[in-house]
Amino acid sequence: MSLEIERKFLVRDDAWRSAAIGEHYRQGYLSTLPDRTVRVRVIADAGYLTIKGATVGAARTEYEYVIPVEDAHAMLDNLCLRPLIEKTRHTLEDRGLTWEIDEFEGENAGLVIAEVELESEDQDITLPMWVGEEVTGDPRYYNANLVANPYCNWGR
């Protein structure tokens, strides 16, 4: 069993872009129940199946498996809930931490979220200047919930 501990933040500006490397993600959900999610993802030429438990604070259990990319595409096209999550994930290093900045597309266009994985929930971190409001505990920002309630429906 793996334990994922991450914090999520909104991104306040584009100052991170020059240091980031991006890769396109296509993902969908077979289950979005609050106590477990089952996600299918394609990154480049690789397919993944991920099962996550309920979020407690900033932590949750996570199991991830490589699957044939053809199977992943078939599940995304035929089995996953709509809309699919399409995004470019940018990664960069800052003060010894790896930040992942997700720039969403499609029905979630305009949403940009930064995530950082931690060793413990109480790990002390210094936030980069481009990091804005923390949204770790706000379920609206969970990728699985962006399927049922996409960002375009939020009425900003």
Closest C-alpha to 127, from 3, 21, 5, 12: 12
Which residue stretches of the chain have pLDDT < 70? 1, 156
- pLDDT for 156 equals 60
CA separation for the pair 120, 142 (Å, rounded): 20
This prediction has a pTM of 0.92
Residue 17: strand, helix, or coil: helix
In degrees, to the nearest 5, what angle opens at C-alpha 134 toward C-alphas 10 and 126? Answer: 100
Pairing of strands 85-94, 21-33: antiparallel
- pLDDT for 140 equals 95
Catalytic residues: 29
- pLDDT for 131 equals 98
- pLDDT for 59 equals 86
Residue span of the structural domain in which 107 resides: 2-153
Pairing of strands 97-104, 36-43: unpaired
- pLDDT for 79 equals 98
* CATH of residue 99: 2.40.320.10
In degrees, to the nearest 5, what angle opens at C-alpha 47 toward C-alphas 38 and 52? Answer: 25
- pLDDT for 147 equals 96
- pLDDT for 69 equals 98
List alpha helices for the chain, DSSP H: 69-78, 145-148
For residue range 115-137, list pLDDT tens digits in order.
Answer: 999 999 899 999 999 999 999 98
Q: Are 74 and 3 in contact (CB under 8 A)?
A: no
Q: Are 150 and 122 in contact (CB under 8 A)?
A: no
Q: What is the 8-class DSSP label of residue 78? A: H
First to last CA, the chain: 39
- pLDDT for 155 equals 84
Q: Which residues pair with 63 in a beta bridge?
A: 51
Q: How many domains does the chain have?
A: 1
